């Protein structure tokens, strides 16, 4: 899987603004390296994901401020693991834990 790693609030804000302006879509995967459920969800997501949508990876342990910003802006309560798909600057899909679906994350 070709992850694009997000490491800063400004990167996220730029991607979100671009989505709002152009109508583009992208997927966020929020992952905790300390959680076995998150590791299992990540593996499943990676094996299922066949979309051309850009997929961004957020390491919750290293970039907690970024994760909090995503929750604040999207109004999607923070969970781990979590997938959020954004199009036109707004959330079109979100799910967490064992409900995460790569197919649903990439269908617009």
Query: Domain of 84?
Result: 4-106
DSSP state of 81: S
Half-sphere exposure at residue 81, Cβ-oriented, CA atoms within 13 angstroms: 24
Q: Quote the number of domains for the chain.
A: 1
From residue 81, alpha-carbon distances to 18, 63, 94, 108 in Å are 25, 14, 11, 21
Residue owning tokens 């995503």? 70
Q: What is the CATH number of the domain that holds 66?
A: 3.40.30.10
pLDDT tens for the chain, 108 residues long, are: 799 999 999 999 999 999 999 999 999 999 999 999 999 999 999 999 999 999 999 999 999 999 999 999 999 998 899 999 999 999 999 999 999 999 999 986
């Amino acid at each position: 899987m070709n992850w694009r790693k997000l490491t800063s609030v400004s990167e996220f804000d730029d991607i979100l603004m671009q989505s709002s302006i152009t109508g583009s879509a992208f997927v966020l995967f929020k992952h905790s390296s300390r959680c076995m459920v998150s590791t299992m969800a990540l593996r499943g997501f990676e094996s299922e994901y066949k979309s051309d949508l850009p997929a961004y990876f957020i390491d919750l342990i290293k970039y907690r401020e970024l994760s909090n910003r995503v929750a604040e802006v999207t109004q999607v309560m923070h969970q781990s693991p979590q997938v959020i798909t954004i199009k036109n600057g707004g959330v079109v899909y979100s799910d967490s834990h064992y409900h995460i679906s790569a197919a649903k994350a990439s269908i617009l």
